[in-house]
């Protein structure tokens, strides 16, 4: 059982090459295994996840033969890394500490759990230093040893609220609420241009991009995804932008960013999905903030609700006096 709400996500590296003549006619799963040193079973899993593209077409069948000169791109998940080392130097801003879970205010630029290029200094390493009991979740088989307690996550460039389980009861309940879509998650985003409708829903399936498997895109064969939005304010200076409140019905990889870019309003400073560089923000920091998190307590009937205002790096970009 996995507590990650975006199972299509990989934190790995990209294999990008033109198939040489020495690999002509060879099965794609064997090629992946040979070039990466991974098992055929691992190669099979990468293929069936839709993370392999040959000449801009997603390849799903392991038995597919490659031809010399074809362009192969594969997004590879990180190799199993075992347990995460605790790191007391990592800042962990706890918004709510309960016997079964932690609600954490993730800082922009902070990576939630280890992945390629981010083996150390992750948020979960800081959690383990302060709450060593979380590590025991790895032994239950409920979650990956590299991600103990992680129920869902936020992109590196996103700030705000997420929940980490401390007990098996907490992990099971919170993961189930996430899967049944009863967990409430609200985001604030500033986007390019003026969004015309005051309220709306983007209902468009999301899958891995056929041009770049490190990105996601709206695809007819993708997984269902719905994002509700509400206009909070429209701004004209220094350029036309709109501040939105967003509610997720689903939790796909990069869902908000992909949906807003698809309707012509990419998130401000999100260079990967079409917005130009905004010098008011750090280079890898886009205007997306997880502002509200709500769920039923794992052991009680009461509803847990946590809200965070815009952080100090985003607040100056919106008018003063608004309730955001």
Q: Of 57, 76, 95, which residue sits at a domain end?
A: 76
Q: What are phi and psi of 203, to 5 degrees?
A: -120, 95
> Is residue 1 included in any domain, yes or no?
no
Task: Output the pLDDT for position 79.
Answer: 57
Model confidence over 265-310: pLDDT tens digits?
Answer: 999 999 999 999 999 999 999 999 999 999 999 999 899 999 999 9
Do 147 and 271 share a domain, yes or no? no
Give the residue with greater pLDDT, 103 vs 211: 103
Confidence of residue 82 (pLDDT cuts 50, 70, 90): low
CATH number of the domain at 276, please. Answer: 3.30.2350.10
Residues 234 and 308 placed together within one structural domain of the fold: yes
Of 3, 15, 6, 5, the C-alpha closest to 42 is: 15
Same domain, 208 and 174: no
Three-state secondary-structure class, residue 91: coil
Residues 120 and 176 both lie in one domain: yes
Residues 17 and 95 in one domain: no
Question: 85, 164, 83, 88: which is closest to 130 by C-alpha?
Answer: 88
pLDDT for 142 equals 83
Strand residue runs (E) in 193-309: 199-203, 206-208, 216-218, 226-235, 241-248, 288-296, 303-307
- Which residue matches tokens 């098996």? 168
Structural domain count, the chain: 3
The answer as to whether 2 is a domain residue is no
The answer to the question of residue 4 being in a domain is no
> Is 266 within the bounds of a domain?
yes
Q: Are residues 200 and 322 in the same domain?
A: yes
Residue ending a domain, choose from 30, 60, 76? 76
Count of CB atoms within 10 A of residue 111's CB?
22
Q: What is the CATH number of the domain that holds 56?
A: 3.10.290.10
Strand, coil or helix: what is 160? Answer: strand
Rounded to whole angstroms, how far apart are CA atoms 54 and 69? Answer: 10
Residue 64 lies in a domain: yes
H or E, element range at 17: strand 13-18
Distant-in-sequence, close-in-space partners of 35: CB < 8 Å, separation ≥ 6: 15, 17
Mean per-residue pLDDT over the chain, rounded: 89
Of 155, 198, 249, 313, which residue is the catalytic one?
155
Element (H, E) at 76: strand 71-76
**Domain C-terminal end among 76, 97, 129:** 76
Please check whether residues 92 and 205 belong to one and the same domain. no
What is the reported pLDDT for 209? 85
138 and 58 in one domain? no
Angle between helices 28-36 and 40-48 (to 10 degrees): 120
**What local confidence, expressed as pLDDT, does residue 268 receive?**
98
Q: CA torsion, points 82, 83, 88, 93, in degrees to nearest 10?
A: 100
Active site (annotated) includes residue 93? no
Residues 192, 196, 199, CA angle at the centre, nearest 5°? Answer: 105
Residue 3 belongs to some domain of the structure: no
Residue 154 inside a domain? The answer is yes
Q: CA dihedral defined by 177, 45, 51, 188, rounded to 10 degrees? A: 10
Asked if residue 157 and residue 63 are part of one domain, the reply reads no
pLDDT at 77 over 80: no
Kindly report, residue by residue over 18-44, the tens digit of the pLDDT. Answer: 998 888 999 999 999 888 777 788 888
Residue 271: DSSP 8-state: G
Looking at the fold, whether 199 and 122 belong to one and the same domain comes out as no
State yes or no: pLDDT of 126 exceeds 90: yes
Rounded distance, CA 269 to CA 284, Å?
8
Q: Model confidence at 119, in pLDDT bands (50, 70, 90)? A: low
Q: Tell me the per-residue pLDDT of 220-247, one tens digit each, with 9 for 90 and over.
A: 888 999 999 999 999 999 999 999 999 9
Domain that holds residue 46: 13-76
CA geometry: angle 311, 314, 316, nearest 5 deg = 110
What percent of the chain lies above the pLDDT cut of 70? 92
The answer on 288 and 249 residing in a single domain is: yes
- Write the Ramachandran bin of 187: left for phi over 0, alpha for psi from -120 to 50, otherwise beta: beta
Examine residue 167 and state whether it is found in any structural domain, yes or no.
yes
How high is the pLDDT of residue 143? 81
Same domain, 156 and 194: no
Task: Report which of 207, 199, 208 is spatially closest to residue 227, judged by C-alpha positions.
Answer: 199
Check residue 292 and report its DSSP letter. Answer: E
Kindly state the DSSP code that residue 66 receives in the 8-state scheme. P
Q: Look up residue 166 and give its DSSP letter.
A: S
Least confident of 120-129, 199-208, 297-306: 120-129
């Amino acid at each position: 059982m996995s507590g990650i709400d975006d199972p299509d996500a990989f934190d790995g590296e990209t294999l990008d090459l033109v198939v040489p003549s020495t690999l002509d006619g060879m099965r794609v799963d064997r090629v992946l295994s040979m070039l990466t040193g991974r098992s055929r079973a691992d190669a099979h899993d990468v293929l069936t996840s839709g993370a392999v593209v040959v000449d801009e077409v997603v390849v799903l069948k392991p038995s597919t033969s490659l031809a010399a000169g074809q362009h192969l791109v594969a997004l590879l998940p990180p190799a199993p890394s075992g347990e995460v080392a605790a790191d007391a130097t990592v800042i962990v801003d706890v918004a709510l500490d309960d016997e079964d879970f932690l609600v954490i205010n993730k800082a922009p630029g902070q990576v939630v759990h280890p992945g390629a290029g981010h083996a150390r200094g992750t948020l979960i390493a800081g959690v383990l230093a302060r709450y060593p009991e979380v590590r025991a979740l790895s032994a239950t088989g409920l979650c990956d040893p590299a991600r103990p307690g992680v129920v869902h996550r936020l992109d590196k460039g996103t700030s705000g609220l997420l929940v980490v389980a401390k007990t098996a009861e907490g992990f099971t309940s919170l993961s189930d609420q996430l899967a049944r879509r009863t967990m409430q998650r609200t985001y604030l985003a500033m986007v390019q241009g003026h969004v015309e409708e005051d309220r709306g829903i983007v209902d468009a399936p999301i899958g891995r991009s056929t041009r770049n498997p490190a990105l996601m895109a709206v695809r007819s064969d993708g997984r269902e995804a719905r994002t509700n939005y509400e206009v909070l304010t429209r701004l004209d200076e220094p350029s036309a932008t709109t501040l939105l409140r967003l509610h997720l019905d689903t939790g796909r990889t990069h869902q908000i960013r992909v949906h807003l870019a698809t309707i012509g309003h990419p998130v401000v400073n999100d260079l990967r999905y079409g917005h130009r560089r905004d010098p008011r923000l750090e280079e890898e920091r886009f205007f997306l903030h997880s502002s509200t998190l709500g769920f039923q307590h794992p052991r009680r009937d009461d509803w847990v609700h946590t809200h965070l205002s815009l952080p100090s790096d985003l607040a100056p970009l919106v008018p003063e006096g608004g309730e955001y």
